[in-house]
Amino acid sequence: MANFYDLSVWRGLLLFGVLFVSLIIANVLKTQVPFLKKSLIPNSVLGGIIVLIVSSIVYFTTGDYLFNLPLFSENGSGIATLEVITYHCLAIGFIAMTLRPSSSKLTKSRTGEIFNSGLTTVNTYLLQGIFGIAITLICAVIITDFAGGSGILLSFGYGQGTGQALNIGGNFDASMGSGGVYKNIGLSLAAIGFLVASIVGVIYINILRKKGKLSYKEAAVSALKSEDVVGENEPPLNESVDKLSIQIALIVLTYLVAYGMMYLIGNVIMKGGNMIGTVYGFNFLFGVIAATLVKSVLKLLKKGKLLKKDYVNTFLLNRVSGFAFDMMIVAGICAIQVDLVSGYIVPIAILAVVGALVSFFYVHFICKVLFPEYRYEQFLAFFGMLTGTASTGMILLREADPNLESPVSENLVYQNLPAIVFGFPIMLIAGSLTNKPRDLGNTLLMFGIIFAIFIVLNIILFRRYIFKKAFKKKGE
């Protein structure tokens, strides 16, 4: 029997309590401190940094990190718990986003812009990977037993945030036996990426405003309407089962389907081989696939009149995904162990600076050429997303386009499909790099493949300029 006065009953709640309180403290600071308010740093990032500072002070004082203390964990497993939270919240956030009902059909012109948005996202991942691997290959010559291909973490830390940086870093650690070094390098890059997006983004917004490039308009304030919460054919809020409970049930069901896929591929087909870590590392991708299947089944059930109502609610799914990503970010930053990255400060700093510069100038060029009608709004959204997360991109976009009058917000949402399709090879490349981290020949081969894919996708991206005559003949 459980004794409810035992600390073991309360440890998990206390750990989550610190994470939640950090979000509240961050929110208060953001509203009271002008500098923080202007910086646009997300609350989850600020909260995570606050706890990370406290945790690091505890480490240098007591010899262990805050969440590894007996108050929060048994046998010093608190950091591992934070990593598990980060891992699962990544997939839960993507599942919630994918389960949302699809909007109306898009025009041919808008479809082309969304396609280009997806390609831009993937190309920036590739560019970050090219420069990242080039830097870590040089570092591998200087630092003994350093993974030359670990520069791919720049693509995941900057490009996809804490969740994927943790997953890929963990795969490097499993192969290298490095005890969490690469997890922490990935998490550090992700945390720096949020700061780059916020600080550089704000500076650039102010420069654009001084030059008159942005026509700032106050956002229209409107009260939340009942139809924003409950759709036309959805069950009422006062039904016997709470609507939020239904959304969570659908998300958990979908995640179980995703787990079944990963188990089938990793444990049954691969029989637990070297690539099993890579399979489970892409839980978010299997989550997206499973969510697409669940959506299709729900549509078939509705079409066959076995379901009378639409049980998927966009408003609540947005709230769940927002919660999941906030938890992912704050837990991921809190999981950083400064002692493990202290010996790699120089490589991390070089990766961070070079990653910021190449992302800034490449995306700036793309937006100037391909999105001339709303280039600055698109740039800010892209830059925020490709150094932080999609939510960081939306924060910067709202500063440039408060009422979301430009099509940029749609581009960010719908670009996920082409980005996943064209970005899938990066997952395989990352798997190969993490599986053979000490194989210089394999690292150089993967570097060459990344570079080749980057060239091909840029040809596709600039197809209308490269094959201008062919498009003119078609009248497009």
Residue 431 lies in a domain: yes
The C-alpha atoms of residue 7 and residue 308 are separated, in whole angstroms, by: 47
Q: Are residues 276 and 330 in the same domain?
A: no
Residue 109 lies in a domain: no
Residue 357, CA distances (Å) to 193, 200, 349, 422 in order: 12, 10, 12, 23
The C-alpha atoms of residue 214 and residue 144 are separated, in whole angstroms, by: 49
Q: Are residues 439 and 461 in the same domain?
A: yes
Residue 110 lies in a domain: no
Contacts of 243 (CB under 8 A, 6+ apart): 230, 234, 235, 237, 313, 316
Q: Are residues 261 and 371 in the same domain?
A: no
Q: Are 386 and 358 in contact (CB under 8 A)?
A: no
Q: Are residues 308 and 354 in the same domain?
A: no
The C-alpha atoms of residue 451 and residue 322 are separated, in whole angstroms, by: 34
Residue 118 lies in a domain: no
Q: How many CB atoms lie within 10 A of CB 193?
A: 30
Residue type, 429: I
The C-alpha atoms of residue 123 and residue 189 are separated, in whole angstroms, by: 19
**CA torsion sign, 370 to 376 to 382 to 387?**
positive
Number of domains in the chain: 2
Residue 138 lies in a domain: yes
Quote the tokens at residue 286.
């299997």
Q: Are residues 159 and 285 in the same domain?
A: no
Q: Are residues 247 and 282 in the same domain?
A: yes
Checking phi first, is residue 161 left (phi over 0); if not, alpha (psi -120 to 50) or beta?
left
Residue 116 lies in a domain: no
* Residue pointed to by tokens 């696939």: 289
Q: What residues make up the domain containing 250? A: 235-313
The C-alpha atoms of residue 164 and residue 400 are separated, in whole angstroms, by: 28
Radius of gyration of the chain (CA): 23
Q: Are residues 206 and 339 in the same domain?
A: yes
The C-alpha atoms of residue 457 and residue 116 are separated, in whole angstroms, by: 10
Q: Are residues 191 and 248 in the same domain?
A: no
Residue 473 lies in a domain: no
Q: Are residues 354 and 429 in the same domain?
A: yes
Q: Are residues 77 and 136 in the same domain?
A: yes
- 270, burial (CB in 10 Å: exposed 0-12, middle 13-18, buried 19+): middle
One pLDDT digit (tens) per residue for the chain, 476 residues: 778 889 889 999 999 999 999 999 999 999 999 888 877 788 998 999 999 999 999 999 999 999 999 999 888 889 999 999 999 998 998 899 889 876 656 667 778 888 999 999 999 999 999 999 999 999 999 988 899 999 999 999 998 888 889 989 999 999 999 889 999 999 999 999 988 988 898 899 889 888 888 765 554 555 556 656 766 667 666 667 788 899 999 999 999 999 999 999 989 998 877 678 778 888 888 998 899 899 999 989 888 888 877 888 888 998 998 899 899 999 999 999 998 888 899 999 999 999 999 999 999 999 999 999 889 999 999 999 899 877 788 888 878 887 767 888 778 777 877 888 888 889 889 989 999 999 999 999 999 999 999 999 999 999 888 887 666 666 55
Q: Are residues 21 and 154 in the same domain?
A: yes
Residue 219 lies in a domain: no
The C-alpha atoms of residue 284 and residue 238 are separated, in whole angstroms, by: 33
Picking from 313, 346, 379, the residue at the C-terminal end of a domain is 313
Picking from 262, 278, 313, the residue at the C-terminal end of a domain is 313
Nearest to 290 by CA among 15, 98, 76, 81: 98
Say whether 399 sits in a helix, a strand or coil: helix
Picking from 313, 335, 362, the residue at the C-terminal end of a domain is 313
Please give the backbone phi and psi of residue 426, each rounded to the nearest 5 degrees, phi first: -65, -35
Q: Are residues 15 and 58 in the same domain?
A: yes
Nearest to 234 by CA among 335, 286, 307, 148: 307
